[in-house]
Amino acid sequence: MSKPRMIQPRWLARFLAFVCGYFWLPCPLCKQDFAGFEAGESGLMNTPYEGQMVCAGCSEQAHLISMERWAIWREHGVLKRDALKPYGLA
């Protein structure tokens, strides 16, 4: 599967993010600045209830890390059925 591409040059992506109202932040995995419209399909879950968006190039890696974390949280009983109901995950 090919990775979605980010707009080059980066100044143009930053300009479009500013003009169109998207965020412009560093990706938590690769540290490269990216615009909100360049975010990948998967986010990086930091806790069972909170996560961060990542760039399109890091989406697959973020998904794998998040799944590993979910397994650990589930194993250690961090995930409580009632706490997840508002998110439709229980």
Name the residues that contact Zn ion, by CB under 5 A.
27, 29-30, 55, 58
**Among residues 35 and 55, whose Cβ is nearest to Zn ion?**
55
Shortest Å, Cβ 69 to Zn ion: 17
CB distance 24 to 10 below 8 Å? no
User: Residue 24 half-sphere exposure, CB side, CA atoms within 13 Å?
Assistant: 13
Shortest Å, Cβ 75 to Zn ion: 28
Shortest Å, Cβ 81 to Zn ion: 33
**Among residues 7 and 78, whose Cβ is nearest to Zn ion?**
7
CA-CA distance, 86 to 19, in Å (whole number)?
34
CA-based nearest residue to 43, from 25, 58, 32: 58
**Among residues 63 and 79, whose Cβ is nearest to Zn ion?**
63
